[in-house]
Amino acid sequence: MTMVYSPGLDGVVAGETRVSCVDQGRLLYRGYAIQELAEKTNFEEVLHLMLYGELPGEERLQYIMDRLDDFRALPEQVYHVLQHIPATVPMMEVVRTMVSFAGHFDPVEGDDDEAIRQRAIWLTAQVPSIIAARHRLLNGDEPVKPRRGMSHAAQMLYLLFGEEPDDMTADLLDLTLVLYAEHEFNASTFTCRVICSTESDLVSSVAGAIGALKGPLHGGANEAAMRMLLRFKSADEAAKWVVEALERKEKIMGFGHRVYRHGDHRAHILEQKMRKLAHKKGQDHWLAIYDAVRDPVRRLKNIYPNVDYPCGLTYHLMGLPLDLFTPIFVSARVSGWSAHYLEQSRGNRLYRPLSEYIGQAERTVPPLDER
Ligand code: CMC
């Protein structure tokens, strides 16, 4: 066996997949370019594409929407536990815990492919309900009961704020869910597949993946990027800071990507919509700050924004609180993780890489009183 060592598995092919690929800098879900999916489909259609391999027709789309509605209500025990988690616990940790806890009330039986798909739809429906219930309870508000017949994105906003959102806001949230749904062997998906490869269950695999997504080098970057922008009162201040930060060799959140060296297409798609939203809301000063960070990073380091950079500002302009940004990413990526779980569980081979030992040479254990 040839042994290859690549820190961070950079450049290593760790498995085969039919779920998505990055082909010459373009992301495709099951063969469909993300640009086209962003223009022509919504999250529910992408969820069907993830789980069943094909885009749904009208009947199948209605079926997915009905199933999501069937699965949105949280078990009473979830509200109880949510009220006992200390208020200071970050939302991503709450989501990780509650996905695991809700798993004890999994309404789907069996482990065949269709059961796994149903469990994935159930998880996809539960995550926004968990996020919204926690958000409302923390603010002293009663959780809102889901209403049937709304899109997944509109439902999420309705559960959070208790009012039906306007179309522009719901459509923009939906776009981010489509863009966030899947991205081949990223850290959280790989985590999901590693857990699955031990023949563990979907809920455990998703709970592990949430832990991986939380970090600022991965999904946590959308929140971190917006926290960075909020430090600046003007574009000049932002431009000055970013040049100094790059000199200090700091990482700028929302920039760079392991597989895109010339820009993340998703960022480009979202940026255009984000600009329209900022104009509509009379918040153009944010665009000046946004550009003032982006341009020096590109000019000085040849590094481009990834999807999290425009997403952070988009969510902020939509009025979403910062600690919901990465949990919303979870609510979309559950679909991709589940597709990978299904794929990994068929034709599975346990993930078990090697390590290079660089510790102490062999030595003898001294008696306790001599240590
Ligand atoms: N700001 C400044 N310099 C950067 C950045 C950045 N955001 N990203 C990479 N670099 C530099 C890095 O310092 C290094 O420079 P040098 O060769 O001089 O030491 C060089 O580029 C290569 O960086 P790397 O960290 O080895 O590259 P990687 O492929 O391991 O990193 C990354 C990919 C996403 C972890 C990294 O770009 C990063 O930390 N970005 C900031 C966090 C972020 O935005 N994460 C979201 C990732 S994409 C969407 C998602 O998963 O949510």
Question: Distance of CA 351 to CAs 15, 18, 234, Å?
Answer: 10, 18, 48
Strands 26-29, 20-23: pairing is antiparallel
The tens digit of pLDDT for each residue in 162-210 reads 999 999 999 999 999 999 999 999 999 999 999 999 999 999 999 999 9
What CATH code is assigned to 41-217+334-345? Answer: 1.10.580.10
> What whole-number distance in Å separates Cα of residue 86 and Cα of residue 231?
27
Query: Alpha carbon of 177 to those of 237, 307, 315, 359, 370: distances in Å?
Result: 32, 11, 12, 44, 60
Residues 92-133 pLDDT 10s: 999 999 999 999 999 999 999 999 999 999 999 999 999 999
Nearest CA to ligand 1 atom 26: 258
For ligand 1, say whether the CB of 255 is within 6 Å of any of its atoms.
yes
Our mutation pick for probing the ligand 1 site, out of 182, 223, 246, 258, counting the most ligand atoms within 8 A of Cβ, is 258
How high is the pLDDT of residue 2?
A: 77
Determine which helix (DSSP H) or strand (DSSP E) holds 302, and give its type and residue range.
none
Closest residue by CA, ligand 1 atom 52: 219
Residue 258 CB less than 6 A away from ligand 1: yes
Q: Residue 208 is which amino acid?
A: G
Q: What is the pLDDT of residue 155?
A: 98
Mutation probe of ligand 1 site: the residue of 27, 250, 297, 301 with most atoms within 8 A of C-beta: 301
Check if 41-217+334-345 and 221-317 are the same fold.
no
Instruction: Name every residue whose Cβ is closer than 8 Å to that of residue 91 and which is 6 or more positions away in sequence.
Output: 131, 134, 135, 323, 324, 326, 327
Identify the active-site residue in 135, 152, 257, 340. 257
Q: Among the CATH numbers 1.20.140.10, 3.30.56.10, 1.10.357.140, 1.10.230.10, which is that of 221-317?
A: 1.10.230.10
Q: From the candidates 152, 183, 265, 308, which is the catalytic residue?
A: 308
Name the strand (E) or helix (H) holding 21.
Answer: strand 20-23
Tell me whether residue 262 is one of the annotated catalytic residues: no
pLDDT for res 262: 86
**Is 48 among the catalytic positions?**
no
Place of tokens 């820190």: 7
pLDDT of residue 3: 84
Specify whether 152 is catalytic: no
**173, 324 Cβ separation under 8 angstroms:** no
Element (H, E) at 27: strand 26-29
Non-local CB neighbours of 157 within 8 Å, separated by 6+ positions = 164, 165, 169, 170, 173
What is the secondary structure of 237-257 as a DSSP string? HHHHHHHHHHHTTPPPTTB--
Q: What's the rounded Cα separation, in Å, for the pair 112 and 117?
A: 9
Query: Looking at residue 36, what is its pLDDT?
Result: 98
Q: Which residues of the chain have pLDDT under 70?
A: none
| Global pTM value | 0.96
Can you tell me which residue has the tokens 């439902």?
155
The domain limits of the chain are 41-217+334-345, 221-317
Q: What pLDDT was estimated at residue 197? A: 98
